[in-house]
Structure 1
């Protein structure tokens, strides 16, 4: 399968919602992903195979030097093929080109091999459930 990656690529909100529903095991929501990322994000990366959205990552930021990887998801048909790591690599390039000095990601122990494949180093962080 040939996959293309595009920083700030075009997408339809329904296809991102469907991809997230599959990837995170939840019902698809009618939210406007296009509006959300255009209002709040530094960028995003779309991965497509034959025109079908098979991966997505959102890159939020603080408006200065810190960017944050969120909502990383890969379609079940494209998993275990390096698509997730390639999404993060494209997100890294986009954040670096925008002048960011740091790219953060939330840590989940079960995802350590993925973080390693992407080049993240472990750090301690804090979290408050709201």
Structure 2
């Protein structure tokens, strides 16, 4: 079945909470993601197969030229099939359309091949403070 990618589409919070729990290996939460992204994000991309949420990425921004990827996640069954790379590609297209000139992402070291090879990001120096 074909995967459908949707920019700023409505989604069910329970479905995204379950996807986050699976993707980030944690317990399910009851986060109101839809209200959160509507309030704080430039947009988000949902991937659906047969109507089911199979992937998601949040695109935060500074209100100007910088956009930031957060929470890129794909179901276990959908990984390594190109869904994640297409989520990122659609996020980049939409951020560019909105006038952004930079797309930032941070990630754990094991995801370097995905972001650098599959998505086309380039390494850069950055800093981080754990709070």
Instruction: Summarize deviations over 1:28-86 as a string: whole Å, max 9, x none.
Output: 11110000000000000000000000000000000000000000000011111000000
TM-score of the pair, normalised by structure 1: 0.97
Q: What residue number does 2:113 align with?
A: 113
Cα displacement (A) at 1:10: 1.5
Q: What residue number does 1:90 align with?
A: 90
Equivalenced residues, count? 130
Aligned residue runs from structure 1 range 41-56, under 5 A: 41-56=41-56
Instruction: State the secondary structure of the residue aligned to 1:5.
Output: strand
Moved >3 Å (runs of 4+): none
Q: Which consecutive residues of structure 2, in runs of 5 or more, have no partner in the other structure?
A: none
- Aligned residues: CA RMSD: 0.8
Cα displacement (A) at 1:112: 1.3
Q: Which consecutive residues of structure 1, in runs of 5 or more, have no partner in the other structure?
A: none
TM-score of the pair, normalised by structure 2: 0.97
Instruction: State the secondary structure of the residue aligned to 1:71.
Output: strand
